[in-house]
Structure formats: C-alpha cells, structure tokens
C-alpha cells in the first residue's frame, strides 16, 4: 500500500507537506533568548507518526522561530532522517554576512531560507540595502526564498522578485490576508506576474471565522486558485502550530476531500506536484 493509500482513499502520487516545524526541550540545542516556547515538544518522531497515519510521504521542515537563527537542531534532525525531510533555514536579515551564512547552511543540506518581515516599521528591512545581496545569493544557490509576511508587505516582495527573476519564491499562508478585507488580497494576486512565485494556501483554519471546513477561507483559496492555478499553489499543515485550532488530519482532508471546487488533477498538483517543483525528492 502506498503512503497515500489511507483515510482519503488511494492515490497514485505521494503527498508532501511543505510546511511543518519541530523543536525539542534539549540543553544541547538551546532556544533563543526570550523565546516563548510551548511546554510540549514537537519532535520529528511525533511528526513521522502523523505522516504515516495520514499517508504523507515527505515533509519540508521550516526553522521554527524558537531557535531564531541557530539552525543546529533542524540540521540535526535532517541528518537523522534524510529520506523523510528537507529543511528551510533562517538567517538574520540585519546581518551583512547573511549571504555567506546561507551558503554554509546550503552546504549542510538546507534547501531554502525563510524571512519574516513584520508589517510595522520593525520589518522595513525588507526594503533595505541588505536584501539585494541575500536575494541574489539565494538565486545563485538555486534554493527557494520563502516569505512569512502580512499582505501589506507583498509590494516589497514584488520589488525584489522583479530584480531576481530566476529566484523561486514561496509566499506562506496566503500572506495571512484578512478575510474581512478582501481587497487586500489584490496585493498578493499582483504577484502572479512572476512565474516562479508560489503560494501556500495554509492558514485557512487561522483566518476563518467559521467552523471546519472554513467556507469563508475557502472563498479566498478559490480566488487564488482562479488566478494562479493549481500548478502554483500548495497546501501545508503548519503542524504543530495548527493544533489549537485543527488537527493534522483535518488540515489534509480540507484540501483532499472538502474543497469541492478542486478536481482530482488539481489535488495532484496542490498536494504533491507543486511542492516537488520547489522541493524535489
């Protein structure tokens, strides 16, 4: 039985989750100063159990903010389970040496970097002089740039994307565009002009004001689907961040079973092929 031949029925493709986090309370891998870390652990072993139970073949682990720019724990996990996981690191956007840090992390096996500019003045570095060298290095290394940022930052992302047309860019969580301000989504839709830019349709559970299957958030997904097509959209659980609001299983079943506007080929892309365009296995 294939990895995808579980609760939702057999498929002829492997399901890949492009957005999870792991951490562990372990003195060998200290958390960043002042990090607000849940008491629980989110270990790769727990993640592997969830993947197996839900027919998910592989996962992309995003460096969790609890460790800030120390990627040691995730590097350790990637060495433990190289067949199951790929990793996306973080580098300090205010450090002029970040391009070289990214190069070294890529040599260690990381397949991408994540930046998280805030929407207020503390995130204005996304439009500053330290970004072009980092984005250029990312383009040269041929690893994806992933962006966690509010919808108001999408024009800044567009300015950088225009300078580095060969760089693969992934926008996390639909830029958390608020559902009660539907006009704001146009800032993300405007980035359709960059053919190597992809969007994760995760955070439906976070944005929605309605119970599962989050019909209000599905309307926003449908708008992005109509613009980008399934070939440039990918799902993602955001485990374990999702757990106060939903389960790993429901984060998958939402896309696999309950987005009724998706056909079988759409799901093949959004659950598998789109992810593999960015993170090949």
Q: Which domains does the chain have, with CATH numbers?
A: 15-278 (3.20.20.140)
> What pLDDT was estimated at residue 1?
34
> What pLDDT was estimated at residue 9?
54
Per-residue pLDDT reduced to its tens digit, 53-84: 999 999 999 999 999 999 999 999 999 999 99
> What pLDDT was estimated at residue 10?
62
Those residues of the chain that have pLDDT short of 70 are 1-10
- The full DSSP string for the chain is --TT-BTTB--SS-EEEEEE--B---TTSPPPTT----SS-B-HHHHHHHHHHHTEEEEEEEPPGGGTT--HHHHHHHHH-TTTEEEEEE--TT-TTHHHHHHHHHHTT---EEE---SSGGGGGGGSTTHHHHHHHHHHHT--EEE---GGGHHHHHHHHHH-TT--EEEGGGGG--TT-GGGGHHHHGGGG-TTEEEE---HHHH-SS-TT-HHHHHHHHHHHHHH-GGGEE----BTTTTTT--HHHHHHHHHHS-TT--HHHHHIIIIIHHHHHS--
User: What is the model's pTM?
Assistant: 0.95
> What pLDDT was estimated at residue 12?
86
> What pLDDT was estimated at residue 11?
75
Per-residue pLDDT reduced to its tens digit, 133-145: 999 999 999 999 9
């Amino acid at each position: 039985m294939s990895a995808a031949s579980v609760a939702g029925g057999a498929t002829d493709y492997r399901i890949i989750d492009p957005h999870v986090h792991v951490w562990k309370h372990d003195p060998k891998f200290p958390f960043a100063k002042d990090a607000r870390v849940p008491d629980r652990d989110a270990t790769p072993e727990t993640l592997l159990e969830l993947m197996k139970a839900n027919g998910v073949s592989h996962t992309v682990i995003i460096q969790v903010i609890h460790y800030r720019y120390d990627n040691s724990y995730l590097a350790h996990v990637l060495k433990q389970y190289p067949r199951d996981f790929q990793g996306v690191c973080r580098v300090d956007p205010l450090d002029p040496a970040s391009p070289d840090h990214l190069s070294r992390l890529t040599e260690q096996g990381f397949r991408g970097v994540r930046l998280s500019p805030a929407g207020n003045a503390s995130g204005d570095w996304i439009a500053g002089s330290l970004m072009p060298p980092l984005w250029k290095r990312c383009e040269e290394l041929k690893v994806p740039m992933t962006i966690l940022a509010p919808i108001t930052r999408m024009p800044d992302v567009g300015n950088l994307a225009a300078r580095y047309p060969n760089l693969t860019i992934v926008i996390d969580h639909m830029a958390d565009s608020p559902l009660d301000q539907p006009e704001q989504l146009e800032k993300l839709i405007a980035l359709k002009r960059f053919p190597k830019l992809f969007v994760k349709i995760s955070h439906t559970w976070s944005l929605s004001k309605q119970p599962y299957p989050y019909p209000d958030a599905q309307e926003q997904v449908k708008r992005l689907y109509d613009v980008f097509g399934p070939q440039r959209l990918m799902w993602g659980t955001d485990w374990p961040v999702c757990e106060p609001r939903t389960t790993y299983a429901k984060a998958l079943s939402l896309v696999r079973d309950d987005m009724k506007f998706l056909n079988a080929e759409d799901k093949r892309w959004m659950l598998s092929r789109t992810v593999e365009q960015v993170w090949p296995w």
